Amino acid sequence: MMSDTLALSGRSLKKWIRSPFSVIPIVIQAIVWLLLFGNSFNPGNASGASGGSLGVLQQAFGGATNYITYLTPGIIGMLALTGMSFLGVEFVMDRINGYIDMLKTSPIPRSSIYFGGVLQNIVKAMVAAVITFLVALVVPNGLRLATGFGILNLLGVFLAIVMLTTVFSTLFTGISIAAKTTDSFFAIVNFLFFPAAFTSTALFPLSFFPSWLKPIAQANPISLASDAARILIVHGTLSASQISYFAVDIVGLFAYIVVFIVLGTLLARNALKAE
Amino acid sequence: MVDQVSFDVAEGELFGFLGPNGAGKTTTIRMLTTLTSVSSGRAIVAGHDVSKDPGIVRTVIGVVPQQLIADDELLGIENVLLFAKLHHVPDEKARKRAAELMKLVDLEASAGKKVKTYSGGMKRRLQLAMGLVHDPRLLFLDEPSLGLDIQTRSKMWEYVRKLNDEHGITVFMTTHYLEEADDLCDRVAIVDSGVIKVSGSPKELKMKLGGDLLSIQVSDGPDLTHFFEGVPDVTEVLKLNRSSYRIKIPRVEKALPEIVDGVVQRGLKISDISFTRPTLDQVFLQMTGRQIRDGESEPATSIPVLMEEA
């Protein structure tokens, strides 16, 4: 099953790398969010915001010294979600044009079609994440890593993002296998995107949310991953309580993955069985 | 969709499953290739029940679908090798086999090009290679010549015949080009509205129509109906007007000398003579009461013309 999964994800990745529409749109999206949105929204730009009031804002934004430092993990999370809408289309098209049927007449386990999709979507989303991270470092007034940000911090950030892309990929691959048309797939993705993005701490911190929305915002996987990554970016060396905060986020993401793998496998099994 | 379809295909046979669009060909092929479940009855493919052992069936069949599915962004050879991998063909064997197949379907020179540079005919040939790379015992070809021009189509027939003749692969193909089936298949079944109307070798089925039809026009003279009826094997004589006759006969070439001699001996001249061989289209018309291409936008290939010549 592993070799089939790798063969199938390899197919998609090869196609993706050779297409001019793989990396360029990601770079553009990252620039739009970070350079245009990130720089404009910077609380430090507001007139009169200086000294004490800026300090309060900085505290509200989890200690980030500028807005892009706060925003970057959130944008990575949001772009992972938007990315799924593009990536999922491939499956829907494969289904419509008969490719999935051709796969189904070969002796591969049905689950490898699902896991092949999950894997390639994770890889693509991670490429997007790395690009976004790099763009954030080079834009003016961009991402500032805390002093003491070392290889462990980087690995931790990477872990949080891999887990978030896995959360999305396990869910959306299942949905895209089950979707009968591209329209139905886009409808689902669009229905999920804004609520998921705006109930997360991707763009602004938890303290900004009204109290009824706070529990939802806290449980949102984008919040879990971006908060976990943010702690490592803003604080170079973590205190014990910060480490446990990070650990709780990771456990939360893990729980999502387990649930979505089960859900995605069921969706895929149902969609791939003999008619 | 499909109702009480019953047939056998012998090993090594090239079997044609014929019918108009919507007749149930695709449903049948989907059942046999494990894509659609068989609600009642049984389908045994290469000795295995498709409902009970779909996994084993998938290892012994090759499928060439109707749609063009090869990935445009991948090279031709990459498409073939991917399916070798999915059928767990060892790498070295896969490369060798893929190269052989690309040669067989005349895509050697284009193997290293992206599929998006291929013509429709090349894509179909590539799919043939994709469906064959794991050395299946049984190949399912769904409308192999759909959308191909006449030259490419006959080339396709050549590959299929070669696979069957030289490589001993049992072929199950669907088509709505009856002349294709006539030319290629050892045996055919004609399906319409989900029911098999008739099956047998193309020759047998055509014979059932009563054989050849000879049209003869002679100079004015005595009535020849009685004479024609007396010629051995003639099954029916129809006098169309004073000097034109239509004669039904199993093999026209056997009776022709006697017919011509008889006319000449009576001092008459033959002003026109022609004959038509029955075609599968006529068999189809007889069995279903309609032309196979009824209701299709695609222009019928030159059947009326073919009937007039020779």
CATH number at residue B265: 3.30.70.920
Same domain, B221 and B180: no
Same domain, B54 and B186: yes
Interacting residues of A171 by C-beta distance below 8 A, sequence separation 6+: A260, A263, A264
CB contact under 8 A, A105 and B37: no
The minimal CB distance from A7 to the residues B36, B54, B86 is found for B86
Does the structure show a pLDDT above 70 at B39?
yes
ipTM attached to this prediction: 0.85
Same domain, B165 and B218: no
Q: Does residue B272 lie in a domain region?
A: yes
Same domain, B115 and B220: no
Q: Closest Cα of chain A to B149: distance in Å?
A: 22
Same domain, B91 and B212: no
Same domain, B128 and B256: no
CB B230 within 8 A of CB B183: no
DSSP A37: I
Same domain, B216 and B194: no
Domain hosting B30: range is: 14-200
Q: How many domains does chain A have?
A: 1
Which tokens hold the place of A58?
């900085």
What is the reported pLDDT for A52?
53
Same domain, B221 and B181: no
CB contact under 8 A, B73 and A14: yes
Confidence at B296, pLDDT banded by 50, 70, 90: very low
Q: Does A158 touch chain B (CB under 8 A)?
A: no
Q: Does A103 touch chain B (CB under 8 A)?
A: yes
Residue of B30, B52, B56, B86 best to disrupt the A interface, most CBs of A under 10 A: B86
Domain hosting A171: range is: 2-272
Q: Does residue B193 lie in a domain region?
A: yes
- CA A29, CA A209: separation in Å to the nearest integer? 26
Q: Does residue B215 lie in a domain region?
A: yes
pLDDT in tens, B188-233: 998 888 888 888 998 888 888 777 888 899 888 888 888 988 888 8
Q: Does residue B309 lie in a domain region?
A: no
Q: Does residue B300 lie in a domain region?
A: no
What is the reported pLDDT for A4?
94
Say which CATH number the domain at B189 has.
Answer: 3.40.50.300
Same domain, B18 and B153: yes
pLDDT in tens, B158-193: 889 988 998 889 999 998 888 888 888 999 998 888
Same domain, B215 and B68: no
A108 phi/psi in degrees, rounded to 5: -70, 150
CB A133 within 8 A of CB A77: no
Q: Does A241 touch chain B (CB under 8 A)?
A: no
Q: Does A13 touch chain B (CB under 8 A)?
A: no
What is the reported pLDDT for B219?
87
Residue of B2, B60, B71 best to disrupt the A interface, most CBs of A under 10 A: B71
Does the structure show a pLDDT above 60 at B307?
no
**Chain B residues interacting with chain A (CB cutoff of 8 angstroms):** 30, 33-37, 54-55, 58-59, 61, 63, 65-69, 71, 73-74, 78, 82-83, 85-88, 130
Interacting residues of A157 by C-beta distance below 8 A, sequence separation 6+: A73, A133, A229, A232, A233
Q: Does residue B109 lie in a domain region?
A: yes
A32 phi/psi in degrees, rounded to 5: -60, -50
Confidence at B305, pLDDT banded by 50, 70, 90: very low
Mean pLDDT of chain B: 85
Q: Does residue B147 lie in a domain region?
A: yes
Start-to-end Cα distance in chain B: 40
CB contact under 8 A, A103 and B86: yes
Q: Kindly list the distances between the CA atom of residue A5 and the CA atoms of A100, A117, A243, A248, B88, in Å, as whole numbers in the listed order.
A: 14, 8, 35, 31, 12
Same domain, B135 and B225: no
pLDDT in tens, B65-90: 989 999 999 999 999 999 999 999 99
Confidence at B112, pLDDT banded by 50, 70, 90: very high
Q: How many CB pairs under 8 A join A and B?
A: 64
Q: Does residue B291 lie in a domain region?
A: no
Q: How many domains does chain B have?
A: 2
The residue of chain B nearest to residue A272, with distances taken between CA atoms, is B35
Q: Does A21 touch chain B (CB under 8 A)?
A: no
Which tokens hold the place of B257?
């000398």
Does the structure show a pLDDT above 60 at B308?
no
B212-218: strand order across its sheet: B236-239, B244-249, B212-218, B270-276
What is the reported pLDDT for B82?
96
Interacting residues of B132 by C-beta distance below 8 A, sequence separation 6+: B62, B101, B139, B163, B169
Same domain, B37 and B118: yes
CB contact under 8 A, B86 and A108: yes
The minimal CB distance from B74 to the residues A14, A98, A104 is found for A14
pLDDT by position in tens, chain A (length 275): 789 999 999 999 999 888 877 788 888 888 888 888 888 776 666 555 555 556 676 777 877 888 889 999 999 998 888 888 777 788 888 988 899 999 999 999 999 999 999 999 999 999 999 999 999 999 888 888 888 888 999 999 999 999 999 999 999 999 889 888 888 888 888 888 889 989 999 988 998 899 999 999 999 999 999 999 999 999 888 888 999 999 999 999 999 999 999 999 999 999 998 87
Contacts of A104 in chain B (CB under 8 A): 34-35
CA-CA-CA-CA torsion sign (B287, B290, B291, B295): negative
Please report which residue ranges of chain A form alpha helices under DSSP H. 2-18, 23-31, 39-41, 51-60, 67-96, 99-104, 110-138, 151-178, 182-198, 214-219, 221-234, 240-272
What is the reported pLDDT for A42?
67
